Structure 1
Amino acid sequence: MSDGRMDDGLPEEMAHGSPSERRRPAPPLSAGWRWGFPAVVAVLVLWSGWLLMDGLGTILDSEEGRTREAVTDQSAPGFEAFVEQTWSMLVVTEDAAGELVQVAVIAATDRTGGGGTVLLVPSEASASGCAAQPCRLVDRHREGGVETVRASVTELMGVGVTGTALLTPTRWENLAGASPAVVVELPGDLVATAADGTSVVRFPAGTVAVAPAEVVDLLGFVDDVGGMDRLARQREWWTGWMGQIGVGDPAANLPALDLDLVHLLVTVATGPVRVITSPWAVDGSSMVVDGTALDDLVVAMFPFPVPLVPGRLPTVRLLNGTGDPSLDAPAREAVLRAGVELAVVGNYRHDGAIQTRVIHRDPAQAEAANALAALLGAGVIFDEMASPVADLTVVIGADFRPAG
């Protein structure tokens, strides 16, 4: 029977305490805790905020992470800009039968100031990739059309182009018809053989005004084994035509067509124009190129070349540290000869750099940096804090010596 005890023998009120004892409040905190703890928390918050602001200030004031205002003066120290690839087109000419007559590579020197180069590539130029030999551009064209010609010519030059245009006799007539007929000097009659076997003088010797409808006939006329005479006629016609376009307002000497080729011709004809045929030489039924001469020409034609395969070559940020703008072009050409992709050009953050140097931030680019430095006669620096906009940074110093 119950006697008011728990199993352990203690009275129930002793085991659990009386109701008044269970409701007794905890003693109040001391004044130190009530005011000291919040004060400590407030101090910690203020201190952490000060540390944060101080750290940000240190970063912003540091050399590696310094915030700078944009420099828009191209001659000022610190100016940098991503390159705008050279405006260029591959112009393929076909005759009425669809045979390849000529290839011209047109490149603008300056999109604003105008001028440029027309490189004439003969249809007999040696190529690779044909099903049979000999392998020439005309053979590549027969197998795959304009795209195979573009692939062969760009591979030969080692750079790409920004566009391609196909010109037929009718298109040439429209394109050349907006300006006066081009006059050429022929050393001898150009005699064609008619279908019945009779000979016909197609273009007489002497001064000849080539009508727009006759342009492709002149460009494609074959009268010699190697094609050098035809190449010379093509050069004379292109020189005369580009001169005609450049008289007065170039846009008025071309058809009012919204075509990339027309816009490019207007830009090129605005300034000095070179028409080049020199890299080619006869080799049997083909024409071969002087590789060194072509490399020099391509570097001059394409200040900011289009890479054949984007991302395959190391990218370069080129900075002039001398304050002498006359070194911009020689430095650019020297870097391009090293087989790299130019991504950014500009000026070092201050003039007076003494030593030319190649800087890389990734150990994987050490080999490329050393190779480029060897060609430039420069030193190599590894800097993890270098700009990430390109694989390599080249700073041109006072010790830089242009080629030649």
Structure 2
Amino acid sequence: MTQTSERPLGGTMLTRGGKFVLFLAALGFAFVAVRLVTGLGAVTALNDGYPWGLWKPLNVVTFTGVGAGALGLALVTYVANRGRHHPLVRSAVLTGAIAYTLAGFSVLVDLGRWWTVWALFVPPWWNLSSVLLEVALCVMAYCAVLWIEVVPALLERWQARPAGALRRIADRALPFFRAAFPFVVALAIVLPFMHQSSLGSLFLATPTKLHPLWYSGWLPALFLDSCLVMGFGAVIVVDTLTHLAYRRTRDTRLLATLSVVLAALALVFVALRLADVAASGAIVSVRGWRGVLFLVEMGLFAYPAIRLLGRRYREDEGRLFWAAELAVLGGALYRFDTYLAAFTPGAGWTYFPSVGELLFSVGLGAAGVAMYVAVARALPILSGVRGAPITAPPPGSAVRVSA
């Protein structure tokens, strides 16, 4: 395995762009403060027909899909043994940890009785027949696993300090993390497989409320596939943006090879979706505004996938970035449609998000950006940053420090 080459970005968050992002995050959290005091009804448009509103489709289901890049790279780097993709791993893990943390926070905020969330940690009170229970437990466990994978970066930072207590802690803890790493990776693969498929399983119980173009026995597989497409796309998008913003050096060929996997998964999604729609007879339902949404979804998956099969296309940085953006958007739209646009609770129910809900979602996304930049500035997360590596493995070590 190769030597770690990640390095902190350094610098301050209080740039012009950083201040704007922090301002948006502050607006979102101001909404949280009002919501926790006044209740959901006073500041949201949620109702009994649409009790999840914008919150679950965007803040939870889409955010965790974006964070699935950590799962995708775990499969490529450790299961397929493509070790040369290590330079992308830490950024993907940090993105996943932040996305899942924000999704969990959103769930806490939109709970009607948020002060009783502690009951989730009391097994005798669990509803063992609930799919949501499995999703909640797996998401919490996976969030913890992702942050554990970030810990080696913190320890490396401490190890680079002058002699002292933090350095001694790092010297003792890093060997433990190296030994435990295979088990952590195993959990980091199993847990998202469980809860991402369960996010689709939720709607198997709603055959009369979900539009025929979205209702399918393949919902668990489609949600799992779409999260991997989104995850690989997000890895490419984040790597490109950090490259442009911080003038990092990088190997575009690594992203190009990932894009081939993205394209294959996207084509599998399209083939499975079209075959299922044709077999079920739902093809006759491709009409109206929901039919348009279905066709847009298919286009957002199929177009970038087909273009990425061309070597010249995927090795062009601008086109690769554009294709990755479309892939992320396609996965997000599919999940958003399943949870909201294609869902009909019954006659008389309507929903449009309030200004407060929109501000909260924007603020949540801004908080995620701020967290990523802050951690990347402080810890060795990104490769290709100018300067020498923050640490090097001990002489003769065959184990890579980075998670």
Quickly name the TM-score band, shorter chain normalised: under 0.3
Larger helix share, 1 or 2: 2
Larger strand share, 1 or 2: 1
Q: TM-score, normalised by structure 1?
A: 0.23
Q: TM-score, normalised by structure 2?
A: 0.23
Q: Which has the higher contact order (CA 8 A, sep 6+)?
A: 2
